[in-house]
Amino acid sequence: MKLSDKTAIVTGAASGIGKATAKQMVSAGARVVAADINAPLLASVVSEMSASGGQVTACVTDVGDSEQIANMVQCATESYGDLHILHNNAFSNVIGSATELAEDDWDRTLDVCLKSLFLGLKHAIPVIERSGGGSVVNTASVHSHVAFRNHAAYDAAKGGVVGLTRSAAVDFAPKVRVNAVLPGAILTGAWKGATEIDKKPFIDRCPMKRLGVPDDIASAVVFLASDAASFITGTTLVVDGGLTIVGDP
């Protein structure tokens, strides 16, 4: 699971799964372009990683914008000369059913959680191919496989991530592998304000009897990005502590 001499882009890198993944990739030897829309938080994270000796470049990016995605990929080539890994991970979600959601909220969720992956592939794949090949890892979700009440936009987006992952895996093999990691209940900023009572049903249902942490997902991403997964493409790796294998009692 070494990433020595590899250049990677991680979106949503200022917090949560993206931050943990960027840190693990740096530890594995990669040069990382950390992308996020939150400029102050991103600067702090990149400063922290750089202080530890990592090769990290910050790139403030709204992943829902094609021009900014193109600039993000250009940032990688200008900083390090090549690109081998893309981790599409940025997050947005507005709670609501199809009748409750505002159209703008639907559009923004789909832009960040699905369209951005298309844009990432569009701009990054040619560069990865010119760099000798590599890997794309998309953050999908257990929402890709099971429905959650009042998550119409997010469930739709994450279902689309799985379809796009498989399509891209076929289109760009053998030079570029494309896989998806499917987190379960992971303690990120999305859980801000949740009480222990809110968490308890997920913990009780989960065979591992805990919520996940960002490093649980980051480890899976680094594996899929590395040569240790060189014969794996088009797959969906569920990392949920067994949450979605449990049937109703």
Identified catalytic residue from 80, 106, 154, 202: 154
Q: Which residue from 6, 16, 194, 149 is spatially nearest to 92, judged by alpha carbons?
A: 16
80 a catalytic residue: no
Q: Which residue from 95, 113, 100 is spatially nearest to 161, judged by alpha carbons?
A: 113
Q: Tokens representing 9?
A: 């882009």
CA distances to 47, 88, 190, 225, 228 from 23, in Å:
12, 15, 20, 14, 19
Q: Tokens representing 86?
A: 């893309």
Half-sphere exposure of residue 190: CA atoms within 13 angstroms, side-chain side: 20
Distance CA 75, CA 34 (A): 10
Q: Which residue from 234, 236, 235, 185 is spatially nearest to 213, judged by alpha carbons?
A: 185
List the catalytic residues.
Answer: 154
